Structure 1
C-alpha cells in the first residue's frame, strides 16, 4: 500500500497500536447504549464503519473482549484505549472509534442511536437524527 492510498490514520493513547484506512467510513454515529458507556468510560461512544478490507493494523493488534455472544470490543492491552467494535454476525465490516483518529475532526457522526439509554445530564445540541434504539429498529 502506498501512502497515496491511506485516507485516515489513528491509534491508541500510548501509541502501541496504529491503524490506517484506505477509504472514508461508509457510516458513523454517536451511540448512547449502556455497554458503550461502560466500555468507553464516556457518556457516548462515537463510531465509524468500514469494510473490513479497508482497515489495516500497521502496529500491534487490538485485544478483544466479548461483550456479548456476537460482539467483540477492541482495546489496547497497555493503555486501555477503546478502539474497535465488530459483530461476528457481519465479518466483512469493522467499526473504529472516531476519537482514536489522529485528527478526529476528519469524520463527523451522522446520527445518534440508543438515545433511550442516554444519560439525563447530557444535552444533545445538534440537528442530527436520533433513534431511541438501533437505527434499524425505530
Structure 2
C-alpha cells in the first residue's frame, strides 16, 4: 500500500510504500510548540521508504540531535528526525491525504500532557519516550 501526503499549500508532496512500523501521539513541549497544537501524531518509517515527490523540506534544529521539517512556504510541520537514528524518519499523520489509514497505537511524553486534555482510548501511555519507558503508565 502506498500512502501519500504533503503540506497545506501543496508545495511539498511525499509517498511512502507500506504502513509505518509505529504511530504515536506525542505530548512533549517541543512538539506542542512546533505545531501549535496540544498533541502531535507521528508515524515512523525507515528513511529509504520515504519518497519526496515535490519540493524540499526545510529543517529546524529544535535541539542538538533533533531536526523538525516543515514547508517554508506555508509552515506545515511534516517531519521529525533524530540524528542518532538516520535510518528512521517520522512523518506527521495529519499531513497524509488519508490520515484515517494510520491510527496511533500509543502515547508518549504523557508527563508533559496538558492537564485539561482527556483522551479516552485504550492505547498504552508512556511518561517519557517509549524506548526510555519500562512500563506503560
- TM-score, normalized by the shorter chain, greater than 0.5: yes
Separation of aligned partners in 2, 1:130 and 1:74: 26
Separation of aligned partners in 1, 2:67 and 2:130: 20
* Equivalent residue in structure 1 for 2:50, among 41, 46, 55: 55
Counting helix residues as a fraction of each chain, which structure ranks higher?
A: 1
Separation of aligned partners in 1, 2:51 and 2:62: 23
Q: CA deviation at 1:131?
A: 0.5
Partner of 2:121: 126
* Equivalent residue in structure 2 for 1:11, among 6, 9, 15: 6
* Equivalent residue in structure 2 for 1:117, among 112, 117, 137: 112
Q: CA deviation at 1:105?
A: 0.2
Over aligned residue pairs, what C-alpha RMSD do you find? 0.8
Residue ranges of structure 1 left out of the alignment (5+ in a row): 1-5
Residue ranges of structure 2 left out of the alignment (5+ in a row): none
Number of residue pairs the alignment of both structures matches: 133
1:48 aligned counterpart, secondary structure: strand
Partner of 1:34: 29
Partner of 1:77: 72
Partner of 1:3: none
Separation of aligned partners in 2, 1:82 and 1:66: 13
Partner of 1:100: 95
Write the deviation string for residues 29-69 of structure 1: whole angstroms up to 9, x where unpaired: 00000000000100001000000010011000110000011
* Equivalent residue in structure 2 for 1:86, among 71, 81, 87: 81
Separation of aligned partners in 2, 1:23 and 1:87: 21
Q: CA deviation at 1:135?
A: 1.1
